Structure 1
Amino acid sequence: MSEALRLEGIRKGYALGTPGEIRVLNGADLVLPRGEVCALVAPSGAGKSTLLHIAGLLDTPDAGRVVIGGEDMAGSSDRARTRVRRRQIGFVYQFHHLLPEFTAAENIVLPQRADGVSAAAARERALALLGTVGLAHRADHRPAEMSGGEQQRAAFCRALANAPALLLADEPTGNLDPGTSDTVFAALMQLVRETGMAALIATHNLELAARMDRQLRLEGGRLEDVDR
């Protein structure tokens, strides 16, 4: 099974105006194959978001290697990083961040158009993705006309618009009530299973984490399997 993501010896620290440095990541290692859904659990402030930003090429580590789909990103140009982000990585956040002036379908069409897909093909894929998560009837609704759970499901579809090999999600159900959270999580798992992508999902919800293929704990700046 091919690797979607490899992190080797990732280190990251921040200077906050005082002597010394706060070390957030201290040699974090991870191999994530396609087809695996992995939970990332840790207390607030432990560095989950930092790890996801580095894995998603939104931030650079102080040391270590980030390999996406077999491509080592060390020393890569901004243009190359943008290309990999657009084509190989999908992002989902706690808040949906849908563009309010566009419909659900249009929000999913936009990243495809940016990657050169025709308008007709982009809309066809948008409608197919929305149908998969039970939102075909909301395709032409703007975010303000949708519930929180519907907005987040649409955000999942947008993240998958360009058929990425890797999905990174930061507390994707953290802003939802338990019932809606379960519905949204089920939709996410369905999309991941059907596409065969890899997913790294940061969550405080231990019940949802237990339903994933593997759980990793970020502790002391390193990643450890929860079952160990």
Structure 2
Amino acid sequence: MSNPTLAVSDLTKGYNHGLPNEVNVLQGVTLSVEPGEVVALVAPSGAGKSTLLHIAGLLDTPDSGHVSIAGTDMTQLSDRKRTAVRRETVGFIYQFHHLLPEFTALENIVLPQLANGVSDKDAQARAMALLDKVGIAARGSHRPAALSGGEQQRVAFCRALANEPSLLLADEPTGNLDPETSDRVFEALLDLVRETGLAAVIATHNLELAARMDRQVRLSAGVLEPL
């Protein structure tokens, strides 16, 4: 049996330790995600979903517990090795697109590939193929300011998948869009994820979107439970 793409076990994380305003955000969180599985992470604002995603994606470290990606325990790796794994293995999408405004849509997807050692020719070909998959290839030469909110977020999806990660972590990826656009853009994301067969954890407070994923879990009071 293959290893899960992501496995976190007994994660704890708190802030302001020893102070009167100490907050324990995660209290023994365990979750595994298989290749090709899309998991909805449902939680209200402030419940710790961003903290969990940052730890799972190696942007932060837990107070205790373990994070494994593709069967390798990341907990004891050096910062340099964690950075390398994150760049090569993990894709992130946030509520706001964070595209580089001075570059075109195509260039925003090419740049992370160049940083990962891909040739310019191959990077451009992959970027255009990704834009085509989400239906905005014709907008590749436009800068973010000339794109609609939905188009900007589709470019962000493509950028997150540019280096062919095995794990995608998304934090309210359509939360900044109106309901109609959100539904359309989320469908594009789901199609892209399922086509690539990667593992994905998508945080959302939208129960209708959550129901379209393979499995739903809720983070409440620092504990993860099936929805």
- Tell me: CA distance 1:17–1:156, structure 2 relative to 1, closer, same or farther (3 Å): same
Q: Deviation string for 1:74-101 (max 9, x for gaps)? A: 1211111111111110000000000000
| Structure 1 length-normalised TM | 0.97
Task: Give the Cα separation in 2 of the matches to 1:222 and 1:57.
Answer: 20
Task: Give the Cα separation in 2 of the matches to 1:60 and 1:195.
Answer: 28
Q: Which residue pairs with 1:84 in the alignment?
A: 85
Q: Deviation string for 1:60-80 (max 9, x for gaps)? A: 000000001111111211111
List aligned pairs for 1:99-178, cutoff 5 A.
99-178=100-179
Q: Which residue pairs with 1:39 in the alignment?
A: 40
Task: Give the Cα separation in 1 of the matches to 2:130 and 2:170.
Answer: 18
What letter matches 2:81 in structure 1? A
Q: Deviation string for 1:122-154 (max 9, x for gaps)? A: 000000000000010011100000000000000
Task: Give the Cα separation in 1 of the matches to 2:150 and 2:17.
Answer: 37
Deviates more, 1:217-226 or 1:153-162: 217-226
Q: CA deviation at 1:3?
A: 1.2
Query: In structure 2, the residue corresponding to 1:27 is in which secondary structure?
Result: strand
Q: Which residue pairs with 1:182 in the alignment?
A: 183
What letter matches 1:142 in structure 2? R
Post-superposition, which runs of at least 4 consecutive aligned residues in structure 1 deviate over 4 A? none
Q: Which residue pairs with 1:199 in the alignment?
A: 200
Identity of aligned residues (%): 69
Q: CA deviation at 1:2?
A: 4.0
- Tell me: CA distance 1:195–1:2, structure 2 relative to 1, closer, same or farther (3 Å): farther
Q: CA deviation at 1:43?
A: 1.2
CA RMSD of aligned residues (A): 1.1
- Tell me: CA distance 1:27–1:201, structure 2 relative to 1, closer, same or farther (3 Å): same
Q: Which residue pairs with 2:28 in the alignment?
A: 27
Q: Deviation string for 1:147-206 (max 9, x for gaps)? A: 000000000000000000000000000000011001110000111111000110010111
Query: In structure 2, the residue corresponding to 1:12 is in which secondary structure?
Result: strand
What letter matches 2:200 in structure 1? A
What letter matches 2:199 in structure 1? A
| Structure 1 segments unaligned to the other structure (5+ residues) | none
Q: Which residue pairs with 1:15 in the alignment?
A: 16
Task: Give the Cα separation in 2 of the matches to 1:17 and 1:143.
Answer: 45
What letter matches 1:71 in structure 2? T
Task: Give the Cα separation in 2 of the matches to 1:174 and 1:62.
Answer: 29
Q: CA deviation at 1:21?
A: 2.1
Task: Give the Cα separation in 2 of the matches to 1:39 and 1:33.
Answer: 13
Query: In structure 2, the residue corresponding to 1:3 is in which secondary structure?
Result: coil
What letter matches 1:47 in structure 2? G
Q: Which residue pairs with 2:69 in the alignment?
A: 68
| Structure 2 length-normalised TM | 0.97
Task: Give the Cα separation in 2 of the matches to 1:17 and 1:207.
Answer: 40
Q: CA deviation at 1:59?
A: 0.4
Query: In structure 2, the residue corresponding to 1:96 is in which secondary structure?
Result: coil
